[in-house]
Amino acid sequence: MDYSVLHRSSSSFARVSSILTQHGSILTPAFVPVCTTGSPKCVPMSAVDDFDLVFSNTYHLLVHPGANTVAELGGIHSFTSRSKPFITDSGGFQVFSLKYTGGRDELKGRTNKPKQKNMVSKIDEDGVHFRSYRDGRQLFLSPEASISAQHQIGADLIVAFDELPPYGLTQKRLQRSFDRTHRWMKRSLDFHNSSAHTSTQRLYGIVHGETNMGLRLESLRFLLQHNFPGIAIGGSVGQTRKEMYSLICGMRSLLPSDRPVHLLGIGDLQSIVPLIQCGVDSLDSTYPTKAGRHGTALLTPSVDWLISHSLENSLVSATLDEPAAGRLNELHLVLSKAEHQQSAEPIDETCTCPVCLRYSRGYLHHLLKMHESAGQSLVTLHNLHIMRNTMETIRHLIRDNKL
């Protein structure tokens, strides 16, 4: 993986960069759509053809169809008929979701069986023993098993295996989890470096430490000391937007200038500009597809809106109780509301996506109220178009030193 900075903003830590992989280059800052099981929700894989990078989940691909099957079918690119780059996570997030939430946040809707208890049977230094949410069979993930599965899946960018503790642990429990996750990341790196995959797959280490700035900086130094090719920011980054901005802003002076930085799991319209100004190159999120499935359409943020939501302004305006992500604002249109029933307008008059060029708000409202899957798909397609164009605008503003 070759990483090169094409332009550094004189106004912030934002940068326009290029990540070169064997399946093409990734222009950053980049929004990364989530294709959990090898497809975005509600729309075909072709819907993300215009995105340089997409994100798939090792855990879900391990459960079905299995990493071996993906490998036998030529790897994730051949399996999904996508020629551009992929990134896969380690499976740690989903496994520990089973432990701490019973899987309700991550796995709901995947099976018609009653919710099963005790999905995780054992966590020790070796790894995690758990049961498949599909058929109950016993599975095991360790640093070595996770990296081996990601080697078989064949993504261009892969992620070290980590422990994801719940928010609000005592300092003692947080430190214990912190120490183990760094031992696991070192084992991930050692296993990867001993393989034949180092030239085709690049490994990201994950910055952990919850909202403890001292631990976050210690974690980042650990990853840089061990020369992980990429840096990911994971774990809880706070429960409020102000807490999130302050935490990532506090790390920006140590974030590397010679390798990419990825933020795991956050990428809503209101957050992306401040996070990019902290030095983040790429962000993955289910945000546009999940909103689309629930009938919420995104609107194009203007240049003035993007500039007004800079890091400096956001740190001042974010309230102490504002959620870190997910609150609706003026860039969200809830199409299921009755006010759109007789509207002949497109979702967004400035948008050039096929949905806005052809369909009215009134028609989309009708599809959503009748629970037609086509309505969810059309709004999702529109939302992905908005995210792609917004990132293009942001890159232009960085080149002009306006962000």
Of the residues 89, 156, 281, 348, only one is catalytic, namely: 89
- Residue 103's pLDDT is what? 47
Does pLDDT of 319 surpass 70? no
321 is catalytic: no
Average pLDDT over all residues of the chain:
91
Strand partners, 139: 130
End-to-end CA distance of the chain: 27
Query: Active-site residue among 156, 162, 284, 348?
Result: 284
Q: Residue 289: its pLDDT value, please?
A: 98
**Residue ranges covered by each domain of the chain:** 2-399
CA atoms within 13 A on the CB side of 197: 21
CATH topology of domain 2-399: TIM Barrel (3.20.20)
Share of the chain above pLDDT 90, in %: 80
Q: pLDDT digits over 259-293, tens only?
A: 999 999 999 999 999 999 999 999 999 999 999 99
- pLDDT, tens digit (0-9, with 9 covering 90-100), for 75-130: 999 999 999 999 999 988 777 766 665 544 434 434 444 455 677 868 889 998 88
More confident residue, 108 or 59: 59
With 0.85 as the threshold, say if the pTM is over it.
yes
Note every long-range contact of 70-74, with CB atoms under 8 Å and residues 24 or more positions apart, other chains counting. Answer: 70/38, 70/152, 70/153, 70/154, 71/152, 71/153, 71/154
Annotated active-site residue 105? The verdict is: no
What's the confidence (pLDDT) of residue 238? 87
Instruction: Quote the pLDDT of residue 104.
Output: 43
pLDDT at 6: 98
Q: What is the DSSP string of 26-87?
A: EEESEEEEB-TTSS-TTS-GGGGTT-S-EEE-HHHHHHTT-HHHHHHTTHHHHHHT--S-EE
